[in-house]
Amino acid sequence: MKSTRLPAHLEQARQEIEQIARSYGLDFFPIIYEVLDYRTLYETAAFGGFPTRYPHWRFGMEYDQLLKGHIWAGSTIYEMVINNNPAYAYLLEGNEDVTQKMVMAHVTGHVDFFKNNMWFAHTNRKMLDTMANHAARIQRIIDRIGYDQVEEFIDTCLSLENLIDYHAPYIRRPEAVTPRPLINDEEPPVVEGLPVEREYMRDYINPPEFLEAQRRKLEAERARQRRFPENPQRDVLLFLMNFAPLENWQHTVLEIIRDEAYYFAPQGMTKILNEGWACLHGESLIVTDRGLIPIRDVVTQRLTARVSDGQRRQTVYDWNVFTAYPTVTIRTRTGLSLTGSHNHRILLANGEWRRLDELHCGDQVRIAGGTELWATTPATLRRRPKLKRVLAYVPANTAAQSVLARHRSYRRTAEVVVDETLAAQLGRSCTRRADHRALAAICRSPRPQVVAFLRTFCAGTPRLADNSVTIACPTDSVAATVQLLLLNLGVLVTRRDTSLHIADAAALERALLAPSTPVAWTDDIVAIEHGTADVYDISVTETHRYAAQGFINHNSYWHSTIMTKHVASAAEIIAFADLHSGVVATSGGRLNPYKLGLELLRDIEDRWNKGKFGKEYEECDDIALKRSWDKQLGLGRQKIFEVRRLYNDVTFIDEFLTPEFVMEQKLFTFRYNRDTDLYEIASREFKEVKEKLLFRLTNFGQPVILVEDGNYGNRGELYLRHRHEGVDLKMDYARETMRNLYKIWTRPVHLETVIEEKRRLLSFDGRDFSERRMD
């Protein structure tokens, strides 16, 4: 059997890395590394990092997707680590040594966090063995019951796995228990009093007031039986385990799903402290296999799209959004523009990655052209314009032909496919007026439709004496979008307001005839602006970079102190910088990847180093004195490690977000104005900003569902209540959840919620859904 142990030189590197990490103050479990071939590694990744899991189709689907991404797109998993004692981490066989060292340096930070953060204190440290035991138990059930029936029940349980109480391991709540059956179909018992031997003594032994007291006691007990639990329960899965009419094997499966959900919960509760990203403005167009689409759509729809890193195809695997972020906008000499969070990095002409807030006018950046990544299916439009005879733009020395289509009227609500004929007509119409819906459809279209659009859009544009072409556009936004379409085809375009200038007209003709190969140009930054906006983040496999707005963008922002200062040799530094460059955290590492978390950690370290805390500092009313306050305590590093030990994302922000920090970072809340069709600043008040942030993190942003009554209407029906906190439920999700709850409870399920500020009761009886007003 092939050995998976570290080779001698990597074992030596591991010992060196761990010694350095401990010198920084990191304290972690023993780490066992295994070097796996790509098939074994992706099989393990599909199982959530565990070598053995219960059989289910979702693991096979995940494995197939990961394997295809590796074989056909060259995507690679760099890091995978299990919260266990000892911790297990996996390295991919064949990676360069610098990559393996980088992974080992990063893993020490993760395992330090797993070991020391209190929110992981109750997790099973022998989960590797537990997962294998779960797999064996479910396999025995499958052998006895049958795969199809067990798989269907697992599907149902997995759809409900988020209905747990994430704080249950840390807070003791009243349990939903009752010694009585849910339903008593028998006649209510009659109060007969104490037994008597002689009838004439009955009234003496059982006086009327005694019998009445006994009746009241019995009625109170029956009322308690009719409504249980006595206290609302947040752990819906536990309630189902206790009281749903489950067979023994079903109870076992539900228990396993619940146990694993609680194991993975702390990882979601500490994501801000344990991972990291950089972000772009929502309207930034990103090159994907679904077309040129705004990054906002990729994130909000959680699209597992393929993107281009400028050379190869990569896969999006994580999505995030942050509101009211400080941003930097750069503009180049050719008219390209990019807005992102100020820690967002782009590729420079010399191969260096640099943050947006570190750029200067005159810096040269790399421009990505000829990526030739287009949508694979035609786009649709809600309304089809009337078609006219249009003249197609064709290469030189080719007979001009007209694209003729019949006039046909469609209803405004009709949805039609954008074929090449319609794309050509849209190209002509977009030269006269800005039709943003049509242009968005073209951006989401395959290459033939894009070429047809551009041919007519550019038709009739004369060549100048120097063989260049200048194309007039109706608006700036149209010009910017067409510039990106041409750039994706491999045509370098310079934009000046509403005009597009192509220095080589022949290059345009060649690009319209046949696909090009990736081209890397350089461009100069001519303008830099600062602002605030919502920003969107994606994580990308392998190279962690993607093409958007014509630039090469980097999505990861990880701490690299151990590698750059101690481990990587001079020959490895360049390779490492290409993989993961930049510095994120201020303390020994990897506690914060989000921009918000990064700035908060820096703020904490600075405050505790200078003594900007405590009664004396809080009671100081002199703003100038508070800004220059410096007691030179040097407690910043100690405080950072305390934060690592005690806090999760919610408590981290609740404790350390300050009015000064909100003011310095220019944070604010926003709202959508239906009258102006614009997003507007709602408030800059510290209290409202903090509440908004905490709301997004509490319960992972998912709705809180409570079990209110397991015997609703004295019919054994399940009554749930949605704790409404300003956001309505997604009705399609709610209905499917109720449908699956019915499968387990086997009786009607009711859900109380708020829809458009009105209380509603949703019900499902096993066949039909109903809804009624409650106020």
Same domain, yes or no: 704 and 672:
no
Question: For residue 526, what pLDDT is reported?
Answer: 95
Cα dihedral across residues 439, 445, 451, 455: positive or negative:
negative
Residue 45 lies in a domain: no
**Position 375 pLDDT exceeds 90:** yes
Residue type, 202: R
CA-based torsion, 207, 211, 214, 220: positive or negative: negative
Residues 364 and 385 in one domain: no
Categorize the per-residue pLDDT at 635 as very low, low, confident or very high, splitting at 50, 70 and 90.
confident
Note the pLDDT tens digit of each residue in 502-560.
Answer: 998 888 888 999 888 888 789 999 999 988 887 887 767 656 678 899 998 876 433 33
CB 697 within 8 A of CB 677: no
In a domain, 570, yes or no: no
395, 360: one domain: no
Is there a single domain that holds both residue 322 and residue 418?
Answer: no
- Which residue type does 210 have? F
Ranking 79-83, 400-404, 689-693, 711-715 by mean pLDDT, the lowest is: 400-404
> In this model, does residue 188 exceed pLDDT 70?
no
Tell which residue, 184, 164, 189, 167, has the closest CA to residue 257.
Answer: 164
Residue 2 covered by a domain: no
Please write the tens of the pLDDT for every residue from 575-589: 433 443 333 333 333
630-647: average pLDDT = 76
- The DSSP secondary-structure symbol of 289 reads B
What is the spatial distance between Cα 413 and Cα 382, in angstroms, rounded to a whole number? 6
Do 308 and 339 lie in one domain? The reply is yes
Of 71-85, 106-120, 681-695, least confident by mean pLDDT is 71-85
Identify whether residues 320 and 421 lie together within a single domain. no
Residue 221 CA to residue 217 CA, distance in Å, equals 6
For residue 669, the model assigns a pLDDT of: 72
* 427/547 same-domain check: no
The answer to whether position 738 is within a domain reads yes
The Cα–Cα gap between 115 and 21 comes to 14
Tokens of 255: 């228990």
Q: Which range scores top for mean pLDDT: 627-636, 670-679, 681-690? A: 627-636
Residues 467, 441 share a domain: yes
Quote the pLDDT of residue 149: 93
Averaged pLDDT for residues 574-603:
45
Q: What domain range includes position 636? A: 594-684
Is residue 141 a part of any domain in this protein? no
Out of 649, 684, 719, a domain closes at 684
49 token code pair: 């990092």
pLDDT, residue 515, reads: 87
Q: In this predicted structure, which of 78-82, 221-225, 565-569, 589-593 has the lowest mean pLDDT?
A: 589-593
Give the integer Cα–Cα distance in Å for 534 and 324: 5
Which pLDDT does position 330 carry in this prediction?
95
Say whether both 638 and 736 belong to one domain: no
pLDDT in tens, 259-306: 888 887 766 555 555 543 346 778 899 999 999 999 989 888 878 788
Is residue 187 in a domain?
no
Residue 739 included in any domain: yes
Q: Is residue 76's pLDDT more than 70?
A: no
What CATH number corresponds to the domain at position 313? 2.170.16.10
Based on the fold, state whether residues 289 and 340 are members of the same structural domain: yes
456 and 384 fall within a common domain: yes
Residues 6+ apart with CB under 8 A from 623: none
> Given 660, 684, 708, which residue is the final one in a domain?
684
Give the mean model confidence (pLDDT) for residues 743-760.
Answer: 90
Give the chain's domain count: 4
Give dist(CA 131, CA 135) in Å, integer.
Answer: 6
Tell me whether residue 672 is exposed, middle or buried, using C-beta atoms within 10 angstroms of its C-beta: 0 to 12, 13 to 18, 19 or more.
exposed
Q: Of 87-91, 229-233, 677-681, which has the strongest mean pLDDT? A: 87-91
Q: In terms of domains, do 636 and 761 share one?
A: no
Which residues, listed in sequence order, are joined to residue 380 by a DSSP beta bridge?
417
H/E/C letters for each residue in 679-744?
Answer: EEEEECCHHHHHHHHHHHHHHHHCCEEEEEEEEECCCCEEEEEEECCCCCCCHHHHHHHHHHHHHH
Give residue 74's pLDDT: 54
Mean pLDDT of 419-444: 92
- Between 402 and 493, the higher pLDDT residue: 493
Q: Which residues pair with 307 in a beta bridge?
A: 288, 314
Q: Quote the pLDDT of residue 695.
A: 67
pLDDT band at 565 (very low <50, low <70, confident <90, very high): very low
Does the pLDDT value for residue 405 go beyond 60? no
**Does residue 755 lie in a domain region?**
yes
Nearest to 582 by CA among 600, 596, 595, 569: 595
Q: Give the tens place of pLDDT for each residue, 191-250.
A: 566 666 666 666 666 777 877 787 788 776 666 555 567 778 888 888 899 889 999 999
- Rounded Cα gap, residues 282 and 125, in angstroms: 40
| Beta partners for residue 403, in sequence order | 390
pLDDT band at 401 (very low <50, low <70, confident <90, very high): very low
